[in-house]
Amino acid sequence: MEGTSATSPSPILACPANPRTVPTISDSVNSLGMTELSDANSFSEINSSMLPLSEFSTPKKRQCFSQDGSLHKPVCDEAIKPIVGMRFDDIASVEAFYKNYAHHVGFGVRLGSQRMVNNVIHWKRFLCAREGYRSTKDTHTVDYLDKNASNKRRKVKITRCGCDAHIYVNRDSEGKYNIASMVEHHNHELVSPRKQHLIRSNRKVSERAKLTLFDCHKASIGPAQAYRLLHVGVGAFDGVGCTKKDLQNYYSEFKNKIKNCDAQMLVDQFGRLKQLNAAFFFEYDVDEDGTLLRLFWADATSRKNYSHFHDVLSFDSTYSTNQYNYIFAPFTGINHHMQSVFLGGGFLLNEATEDYKWLFEAFLKSMGGVAPGVIITDESGSMRNAIQAILPNTVHRLCMWHIMRKVPEKVPLELRTNEYFYKRLNSCVWNSETPTEFEESWKNVMLRFDLETNEWFGKCYHIRGSWVPAYFMDIPLAGILRTTSRSESENSFFKNFIRRKLAFVEFWLRFDTALKCQRQEELVADHTSLHTTPRLMTCWEIERHGSLIFTHEVFNLFQSEVLAAREHCDVQDTKDVGDLKIMSVSDQSHPKNRVREVNLQTTTMITKCSCMLFENKGIVCRHVIRVLRGAKINELPNFYILKRWEKMCKRDIAYDGDGNPLDDNPIDYVDMETRRKISVARNKFEDLIRHAKNSSGGLDLLHSGLCDLESTISQSMLVVAHTSQQEQESFVGSSFPTQVDILTPTNIDARGTCSRIKGHRDKEKKAQPKKKLGVTVRVPRVCGTCKELVLHDSRKCPKKK
């Protein structure tokens, strides 16, 4: 850009290394020196005695009115003020210059009319954002209180007031653009410096804001929290560059863009993962209209985990649906660190028997046809039928957590707060070791608390063989998943990234991050077990042997059995029957001081205990340890060392049916080095800011150096500006499809998770009468503190005082 006369000041502020660069709005806001007045004031003429401050000084408010008080004249440094006759290289420079000027004086800019010939702009107007008036169709009266009003509209604030401030530029014979005319005065107050960052033309969702938004979404953090994180990072809201609503609108635009191609994008993403790693498995099914009915996937790591830990798994279809009402159904196993691991997952549009059959068949296909030993599920008739048909040799049991959490809503009100009742019931369910013992204890509880005629408890007793641990004591490793704490942990893990309004693509981004976190926990546990040694509590050699073999988590369980064997167990009697020794071992740690029977085969040194801990959980029990100690056996026999509990259990390479290694993707060292360089550069830049921020000279030096660096990078390499779609595709990891063959359902009622076992809080909420306008309805609820059905909650419970 060049002025029309030699005496005209340069209208563009720029870094010394690149004098033709127009400064950004956020940078140029600091170029004026002003005097602070009251917040109600706008701008006025600056006193002639005031001198411009440094480039980084803070703008001050000034009041500006014409003599008659009806117009407002902006006042600013002459260097950034538009003047008729100013010349610019291109139309983008004109726009940047006028927006920079508008930002300093306090008004927004809107693009006006233009004339184009052969795709070249010949003239264009840049307007004050408050130019013109709202059209008559937008100003009609609407009854916002009438819920049935057909003309109900969103309440939008009026911003137009007929302001005529503008500049008009035209193109000359040399291809330059000149300011041909302008109106400087405004018919409205100008925005004070404290609020200038709120002007629409001054706001922009920056690259940093977009990256933060996308990164936060992957970590299950929404736009509102991402905006707060941005504010904390820059130290002030005016430094973010946009408002919270701008960030939310940007993400809403992304959601609207993927709305009609969501299922297609997820399947395309799975196809891309299959290309990167042939061991990635997925299958899907659509109806005649192309609507996605069923989907299953399992990556290489999930399939490898199943090859090691297929003895027992959990399948739960009670998780919240996504925005299309699909049910998310994950398969979960237990690894050698006693951690829950994802083994595969599916989406089902319906929950009929045929849908579950398809899902179990896809799961078996992905796992080479190897069926699990035990599968634990929630209560569902269609699921039970599918398991019987597809997994006939798999032991099926119901999840106790889903059943026991239902108890409070099924008992009379007086029992909801009866701690003795819960103690007796839990003891009956958890501590019974044989079916006979459970049945006797159950009848006593029903009789003691007058529940013999309770229909729900009667149903639970009728299906006792499918959920009570006493009926699974002899099933290998069936007790691994018996604890409610594990089910609660698993449920909490998945609910952290499953939300009703999530699309498929959003779900996958969150799920992928959560899965990486889960596997990172396993990596940490592997490192700890392999490179640290647990503290031994006895001098028994068998304990030391266990510490060398088992992972730390499993060893802790084994160690507690060793301690109990030393402190509480004694061999009371021994009988010899051929090669078999039958020993009676007392256990003083048991509440009933129960005597266990241990059979020792002297030829193989294999034992079997009546407590069945090893059969049920894979951990050798205290009674067997006591017998081995008496037989002077200082190391665990191989029979008692399950490979699934060993530190090195996953060292063997596993392959699928096609010969593909079941392992993670090969490491991309180029990508790894790029991430490392970015991390180092970011840390160095933050260190520079921290060192320079304490002095004005330091900030000036840093700013000048960054401008020089920006100029060098711009000249040495091609900087490609990405479109909004390219940014979003980079975030998703796949391109937006040009053709959509896989659809999501439309016009489906939100049925929620219909198969989920509802709690009493859910049913009480559903039973609450709807509130009428002006009427307060108080409905009793169960207080979390006093456990009573009352009219207060835990926060106001009198028992807390």
DSSP notation for 719-756: -PPPPHHHHHHHHHTSPPPSS--SB---S------TTS
Which residue bears the tokens 């009251």? 38
- Helix axes 541-549 and 622-630, enclosed angle (nearest 10): 130
What's the one-letter identity of residue 679?
S
State the Cα angle at 487 between 486 and 488, rounded to 5°.
Answer: 90
Residues in a beta bridge with 179: 169
Dist. CA 107–CA 321, nearest whole Å: 46
Which residue bears the tokens 């008036």? 133
End-to-end CA distance of the chain: 74
Q: 168-200: buried (b, 16+ CB within 10 Å) or exposed (e) per residue?
A: bbebeeeebbbbeebeeebebbbbbbeebbebe
Higher per-residue confidence, 731 vs 628:
628
Residues in a beta bridge with 109: 128
Q: What distance lies between CA 721 and its chain's CA centroid? A: 29
Dist. CA 106–CA 103, nearest whole Å: 5
Higher per-residue confidence, 635 vs 16:
635
Q: Kindly report, residue by residue over 93-106, the tens digit of the pLDDT.
A: 999 999 999 999 99
Query: Could you give the C-alpha distances from 666 to 263, 522, 662, 669, 671, in angstroms and in order?
Result: 28, 19, 11, 9, 11
Q: 558-569: buried (b, 16+ CB within 10 Å) or exposed (e) per residue?
A: bbebbbbbbeeb
**Confidence label for 293 from pLDDT (cuts 50, 70 and 90):** very high
670 pLDDT higher than 80: no
Average pLDDT of the segment spanning 381-397 = 94
pLDDT (0 to 100) of residue 276: 87
Average pLDDT of the segment spanning 11-25 = 36
Tokens of 537: 């509590």
Least confident of 545-549, 604-608, 652-656: 652-656
607 pLDDT higher than 50: yes
pLDDT (0 to 100) of residue 667: 56
Q: Kindly report, residue by residue over 210-244, the tens digit of the pLDDT.
A: 989 988 888 888 899 999 999 988 888 888 989 99
Higher per-residue confidence, 791 vs 690:
690
pLDDT (0 to 100) of residue 6: 34
Which residue bears the tokens 């009570």? 468
pLDDT (0 to 100) of residue 480: 79
**Confidence label for 291 from pLDDT (cuts 50, 70 and 90):** very high
pLDDT (0 to 100) of residue 444: 96
Tokens of 342: 């994802």
131 pLDDT higher than 70: yes
- Tell me the torsion sign for CA atoms 39, 41, 43, 44: negative
**Residue from 128, 124, 134 nearest 73 by CA:** 128
- Helix axes 504-531 and 207-218, enclosed angle (nearest 10): 70
**Confidence label for 673 from pLDDT (cuts 50, 70 and 90):** confident
pLDDT (0 to 100) of residue 488: 62
Dist. CA 587–CA 617, nearest whole Å: 19
- Tell me the torsion sign for CA atoms 123, 14, 678, 222: negative
Q: What is the number of other CB atoms lying within 10 angstroms of the CB of residue 134? A: 12
Where are the strands (E) in 519-559, listed by range? none
Higher per-residue confidence, 548 vs 61:
548
Dist. CA 58–CA 65, nearest whole Å: 22
Q: What 3-state DSSP class applies to 594?
A: coil
Q: What's the mean pLDDT when you consider all of the chain?
A: 82
32 pLDDT higher than 60: no
Least confident of 47-61, 490-504, 607-621, 757-771: 47-61
Average pLDDT of the segment spanning 48-68 = 37
Which residue bears the tokens 């830990």? 309
Average pLDDT of the segment spanning 708-715 = 86
Q: Kindly report, residue by residue over 254-267, the tens digit of the pLDDT.
A: 888 888 889 999 99
Specify whether the CB–CB gap between 39 and 63 falls below 8 A.
no
456 pLDDT higher than 80: yes
Average pLDDT of the segment spanning 426-442 = 93
**Residue from 630, 631, 568 nearest 594 by CA:** 568
Q: What percent of the chain has pLDDT over 70?
A: 79
**Confidence label for 25 from pLDDT (cuts 50, 70 and 90):** very low
pLDDT (0 to 100) of residue 57: 36
For 170, the enclosing helix (H) or strand (E) is strand 166-171
Q: Kindly report, residue by residue over 643-661, the tens digit of the pLDDT.
A: 999 999 988 888 888 888 8
Task: Pick left, alpha or beta for residue 75 (phi over 0 → left; psi -120 to 50 → alpha; otherwise beta).
Answer: beta
Tokens of 18: 């690149």
Q: What is the number of other CB atoms lying within 10 angstroms of the CB of residue 756? A: 18
246 pLDDT higher than 80: yes
Dist. CA 323–CA 750, nearest whole Å: 8
Q: What percent of the chain has pLDDT over 90?
A: 48
How many helices (H) and strands (E) would you count in the chain?
24, 18
pLDDT (0 to 100) of residue 775: 35
pLDDT (0 to 100) of residue 52: 37
47 pLDDT higher than 60: no
What's the one-letter identity of residue 574?
T
Q: Kindly report, residue by residue over 734-763, the tens digit of the pLDDT.
A: 788 888 999 988 765 433 344 444 444 454
> For the chain, which residues make up each domain, given as ranges?
25-202, 207-260, 277-399+483-532+737-754, 400-480, 558-645, 768-800
pLDDT (0 to 100) of residue 144: 54
The single-letter DSSP state of residue 2 is B
The single-letter DSSP state of residue 14 is -
Burial of 674 (0-12, 13-18, 19+ CB in 10 A): exposed
pLDDT (0 to 100) of residue 696: 77
Specify whether the CB–CB gap between 170 and 122 falls below 8 A.
yes
Specify whether the CB–CB gap between 597 and 604 falls below 8 A.
no
pLDDT (0 to 100) of residue 571: 93
Average pLDDT of the segment spanning 522-531 = 95
Which residue bears the tokens 């975030």? 731
